[in-house]
Structure 1
Amino acid sequence: MIRAPIYFVRHGETAWNAEGRLQGQRDTPLNPTGVAQAAEAGRRLRDLLGPRAGSLPFVASPMERTRRTMEGLRAALALDPAAYATDARLKEIGFGAWEGLTWREVRRSDPARASARDRDRWHYRPPGEGAESYAMVADRVRPLLEALDGPVVMVAHGGVARAVMVTLGMASTAEAPQMEIFQGRILVLEAAGRRWA
């Protein structure tokens, strides 16, 4: 399905990342580590693409942590930090009632549902308003991916990265929910497969 490379960047670290809390669609700011990771992603992108990086379209989730990452990345590339698009389809997976909790807290307070999720992480939808499964996120991002007609720099979230890889046939529904999605690095998705830069 992929016609041109996607240079995918997960947002930098937030305090909730550092604490292991499920952020989902809560708007959490970058912490100092996250700000540094945004700049690091920009340097890695510059090393990967050279001057042509500035000619690519840039699109981000509209959430604060992704927008700040995009702006830091673009500043590191000596590009106008504000000259990028946002797309709501790139918002993080919604964890519903579990947002703000750690997995340990979820397992303690809601063990039956946590076990159900462990049995099928791809299709399981947590309780509460706004909750989604990874399968639902894949359905949400598929039209965006199908509309791409050239290389793009995309800044979004770990759950979105997993959905994108499955949609593009680069990971299975069993593998993707288990994958670590690094911050401060570039996940290159191209016809030859996936790789980290």
Structure 2
Amino acid sequence: MTVIALVRHGQTDWNLLGRVQGRTDIPLNDTGRAQAREAAVGLSEGGYEAIAASPLSRARETADIIADALGLEPPALYDGLVERDYASAEGLTADDLWERRRRAMGPDAEPDEAVATRAIAALRHAAAAHAEAGRTGPLIAVAHGALIRVLIAVASDGAFPLPGERVENGSHHLFELDDDGVLSLRSYSAAPADA
């Protein structure tokens, strides 16, 4: 069994503007870098031994900042941890989507099941590499809001996140991955949509 803290990357300018990012590679802004440093403080007492990340720059830089603060080796990158592919919705704002009478999850967006399958496979690979390196302590993985929401739902059998809750930039959420690859939720921190 591996304990994994899933961390959402820090803020980007597109987060600030309410734009759908998905696979679009938008870097952290200064607030996002500060959130990554705050996340490292929140993780500092957890005994984490390694860090993994999505290769998108916002997640990779968040992971680099956390690794540096915690004295960990640079993050291992896993393509399976990239954000949901929102396809034609990427770059649009909530107002744009409203005008087009559609949600961010358009018909061409990657479905939850596909996100969950590839993300859990990536976490299994990260956990296996962690074990092969002789590590038994917990692991950090830096990923993205929609991906983390999907994993919270899978790991809680749909009980969480509650309707209207959002996964904040820089927040972390604790999971357990058992030897059979089953993910369970230990704790999560989500904020009300109007917070």
With the shorter chain as reference, the TM-score category is: 0.7 to 0.9
Q: Does 1:140 align with 2:140?
A: no
Separation in 2, partners of 1:12, 1:96: 22
Identity %: 33
- The equivalent position to 1:188 in structure 2, one of 174, 178, 184, is 174
Q: For the Cα contact (< 8 Å) 1:6–1:152, is it kept in 2?
A: yes
2:51 and 2:161 map into 1 onto residues whose CA distance is: 28
Instruction: Give the CA deviation at 1:18.
Output: 0.4
1:160 and 1:173 mapped to 2: Cα distance?
16
Q: Of Structure 1 and Structure 2, which has the larger fraction of its residues in strand?
A: 2
Task: State how far apart, in whole Å, the 2-side matches of 1:174 and 1:146 are.
Answer: 22
Q: What's 1:126 paired with?
A: 106
Shift of 1:166: 2.6
User: In structure 2, do the counterparts of structure 1 residues 176 and 162 end up closer, same or farther at CA, with 3 Å as the change threshold?
Assistant: farther
Question: Does the C-alpha gap of structure 1 residues 87 and 176 become closer, same or farther in structure 2, counting only changes over 3 Å?
Answer: farther
Letter in 1 for 2:12: T
Contact persistence 1:40–1:184 (CA under 8 A): yes
> If each structure's helix is expressed as a fraction of its own residues, which one has the higher value?
1
Q: Give the root-mean-square deviation of aligned CA atoms.
A: 2.5
Q: How does 1:14-25 map to 2 (within 5 A)?
A: 14-25=12-23
Change beyond 3 A, Cα 1:57–1:173: same
Tell me the equivalent position of 2:2: 4
2:144 partner amino acid: H
1:122 matched residue in structure 2: none
* Alignment partners' CA distance in 2, 1:160 and 1:60: 12
Q: What are the superposed Cα offsets for residues 50-107 of structure 1, whole Å, 9 maximum, x if unpaired?
A: xx32xx2311000000001001111222345xx2200000000011111001122111
Unaligned segments of structure 1, at least 5 residues: 118-124
Matched, 1:99 2:90: yes
Cα pair distance change 1:181/1:175, threshold 3 Å: closer
Q: Tell me by how many angstroms 1:163 deviates.
A: 2.0
SS at match of 2:166: coil
Matches of 1:154 and 1:101 in 2, distance apart? 27
**Aligned pairs (5 A) from 1:35-184:** 35-46=33-44, 48-49=45-46, 52-53=47-48, 56-80=49-73, 83-109=74-100, 111=101, 113-114=102-103, 126-128=106-108, 131-147=109-125, 148=127, 151-168=138-155, 170=156, 172=158, 175=161, 178-184=164-170
Aligned to 1:121: none
CA separation of 1:92/1:192 partners in 2, compared to 1, >3 Å: closer, same or farther?
closer
Shift in Å, 1:177: 7.3
Following superposition, the deviation at residue 179 of structure 1 comes to 3.0
The verdict on how the C-alpha distance between 1:5 and 1:179 changes in structure 2, with shifts beyond 3 A counting, is farther
Measured in 2, the distance between the counterparts of 1:154 and 1:26 equals 20
* Paired residues, number: 174
Unaligned runs of 5+ in 2: 129-135, 177-183, 191-195
Letter in structure 2 aligned against 1:104: D
8 Å CA contact 1:134–1:159 kept in 2: the answer is no
2 CA distance for matches of 1:78 and 1:57? 9
Partners of 1:171 and 1:67 lie apart in 2 by: 29
